Structure 1
């Protein structure tokens, strides 16, 4: 028989969002438990242990800002931290604030049912039941692995792995033939590492995207000392940025002072704002100076068809210089795909990997998969044999984790029914008909289109302030008003219209297009993190305009 626990608040998920939510709820004096499916904290950084996994936000900026002491006692070792270092950081935070005593591990939530009479949520796992008036879903935007339904998948006799559910123990590729399906972010990051170890690597590319050099390197001596002194400025700039990423460098700081090498802080030249303002020669000169990773940073590339076409052509030119075999370079080119349709990927030596003799690129646009066989994989053209099969096939993004839970609000209406044609929220924080069920970085908020950790902190602080407001004003519950929810959904759709993200030729997980049967709708909010933050603050200043209290 499962045990029942009655609490003030329940948080689902012990990733970076769930941990900070716990911290804030403790400050409010609320008895809280966090429910986590894994064996420890970390969320995405706990599950995604695949070789080469790395954050695409600078380390200093991908860190909590809520504790000045924490900022000062942690030292990053790389500009772009890898998964092992980020998980070490998360564990350090959990230890420092003793979070684990309020986290129940090895429990996956299967249902969340609202009781209108008692105004409480009942959450059930396979081993326990939890009851509380407040339910906070910190389930993450990328937490449900997507494994394609391929004929014969169960027949393969070798080892099988998914990048989003990688084992804790080391996977050894030496002297092994490996097949990997997928060339999205996880594929791009892990392919160079696997290729450096495997006897042979077959990469089955479904749809190539745009990938740019991470330009990662170890921190210079003295870098963290300067960053720690600048943290207040970094946080202010992040909160004022539409992406919450400012690409901090102490060597081009606006502050006066000395750099780590005892010289004046360097003021580096910035690239132009738009690509259309440049001549063809100037464009190539800027690529030479700043690298081709500058292409998606031009403001007009994501908003103007002509600008995007210019950027795509320049990208393809550069790709042909990086990959020696013209036929392979052509297969790697993202044909008919605009820059911005999919999330740009950062990589380390991805294209150089295809110059190796032990790597074979199989373009599934030219030869589709027929089935997986006991010895490997069969396409329309031939059989491929290997010892290890890796799925790098991504996630059911943003709504996947919530849709896997049987969530029922007022009158027993399920969230799945409400979201039958796509998610409906107000600010990505609450839904009409589901009182006191908050979502951290939920659908229709900036989330994955910004620095997610900054988005997490903004949501957690908004939610905790809201709960405190309810307590002070004797409100039992809060939910979105239907008209406010309708207006926000319309605004989210309008913000994405006319951009490369929603072009008819674009099929990405931002639109749910990677999941068969999932409604095609733009899932995050494209209006910008700063614009969104201002809207949330305005709503509060107007007495939580658009929300209904009970």
Structure 2
């Protein structure tokens, strides 16, 4: 089950209170630049508030999906109505769609969540879609006290299972192939997964869906039939069915009543491939077919994933080299944790790490434990520098890229290859391996005296 934003915030507030964290946090402060001083082996950080920080070790936990993307069409600054980005939703006011003409641009993970809510009260909703996604039902529901008691009772078994699973989820791929069972058995399994909550419809199914194109297409046919069942207008249903990628090769959005939303009289779907937006105007948007006026525009246009947030900071390492320049043709890392030429800088949740392809908090947890021990050693042993060896970095980066090259994921345009960002090089930026093997590798490297790191 997925928690809503207020519940998540309450949890963070409680953790901050429990561990007295606020005294160690500077809020509303953005880091603009980081420069490594080779004489003192210290980083100097410049912030938007003008305050300078000096640190021996920097851990960049900037997040995979934290740098919002905006439409490439010009003129947004001319628009006179309300506009919001789903990743920058205002927390200090309530956004009211009632009686308004609203445009939502984007039908990815956040788009499929906001579209049904807007449609409930808007006078008219126009959805601009570039690429349809294989969205599947979330099946979320409130949890009773009895539910929570049962969940808590299962913690002793649950947490070790999460740490040992492929991607940090309770769901695991079925080792049985879909081609090794009867059609009736396979269809029954798909129906069972369809009616189950969460990721059962993805990583809880036959494992050959992840690597066998024909097996995946059969599952896509099943999902397409569900979309056609849920959408009344056949032409609209076909617009909502992906034709250019297989299931799971892009982020899989989980939705509630998303497809049924298009059965409402006040909802219209516009394909940006057929009718692209040329520019924003004072009253709305100008498309290839003419101007459309809106009272509000909601941008669900995604993120510059994995590398965007880090590249927003002017990071300068040895010999003044910038991280932006080093990564101009794609990221290079060792274990997704360090970058050669940037001593004592550790990356948490960036490119080539396990968190990009799994349960982020659970995948990150074990990496943080390993990283914390290394940072502790830096101070206890009074080390000057820990930095990635360039050869180890090259080998790891090549291994990560090669592992993705022959997969179904390589057949799709996605954030995992940076395809959603204009001008970004098409290079694989996530990590496809299993969590237990990745963690084992980390500890094997430690036992070997931190192989691949230069320590001085």
Give matches, 1:34-45, under 5 Å.
none
Are the counterparts in 2 of residues 316 and 333 from structure 1 also a CA contact under 8 Å?
yes
SS of the residue 1:218 aligns to:
coil
2:258 corresponds in structure 1 to 350
Q: 8 Å contact 1:339–1:500 — kept in the other structure? A: no
Is 1:82 aligned to 2:4, yes or no? yes
Query: 2:403 & 2:96 partners in 1: Cα distance?
Result: 46
Residue 190 of structure 1 corresponds to 114
Match of 2:149 among 212, 219, 225: 225
- Total equivalences in the alignment: 449
Q: CA deviation at 1:231?
A: 1.6
Distance 1:194 1:225 in 2: 35
Note if 1:492 corresponds to 2:415: no
Deviation for aligned residue 1:445: 0.7
**Whole-angstrom CA distance in 1 between matches of 2:440 and 2:114:** 38
Q: Give CA-to-partner distance per residue, 1:177-212, whole Å, 9 cap, x none.
A: 100100000001110111112111100011111111
Matching residue within 347, 357, 363 for 1:455: 363
Tell me what 1:113 maps to. Answer: 35
- Correspondence 1:310-349 to 2 at 5 A: 310-349=218-257
- Quick one: higher RCO (CA 8 Å, sep 6+), 1 or 2? 2
CA shift digits 1:139-173 (9 cap, x unpaired): 11111110022133222211011001111111001
Q: Deviations over 1:273-298 (max 9, x none)?
A: 33222333333222233317635633
1:366 pairs with 274, 285, 294, which one?
274
**What corresponds to 1:523 in structure 2?**
429
Within a 5 Å distance, the mapping from 1:438-517 to structure 2 comes to 438-503=346-411, 506-517=412-423
Pairing 1:285–2:197 present: no
Query: 17, 21, 46: which is aligned to 1:99?
Result: 21
Query: Matched residues in 1 for 2:153 and 2:217: separation?
Result: 42
Tell me, in whole angstroms, the C-alpha distance in 1 between the residues paired with 2:183 and 2:260: 26
Structure 2: runs of 5 or more not aligned: none
What secondary structure is seen at the aligned counterpart in 2 of 1:122? strand
Whether the 8 Å CA contact 1:324–1:355 is kept in 2: the answer is yes
Question: What's the TM-score once normalised by structure 1's chain length?
Answer: 0.79
Preserved CA contact (<8 Å) 2:168 2:362: yes
The 2-side partners of 1:496 and 1:271 are apart by 21
Structure 1 unaligned blocks of 5 or more: 1-78, 249-269
1:142 aligns with 2:65: yes
More helix by share: 2
Write the distance in 2 (CA, Å) between the matches of 1:123 and 1:462.
25
SS in 2 for 1:349: coil
| Residue from 71, 75, 98 that aligns with 1:174 | 98
Answer yes or no: is the 8 Å Cα contact 1:210–1:334 preserved in 2: yes
Which of 306-315 and 112-121 deviates more? Answer: 306-315
SS at match of 2:54: strand
SS at structure 1 position matched to 2:180: coil
Query: C-alpha distance in 2, partners of 1:273/1:215?
Result: 25
Q: Please tell me the root mean square deviation across aligned C-alpha atoms, in Å.
A: 1.7
Mean CA deviation greater in 470-479 or 425-434: 470-479
Distance in 2 separating the partners of 1:237 and 1:341: 25
Shift of 1:456: 2.2
Indicate conservation of the 8 Å contact 2:343/2:387, yes or no. yes
One of 404, 409, 412 as aligned partner of 2:317? 409
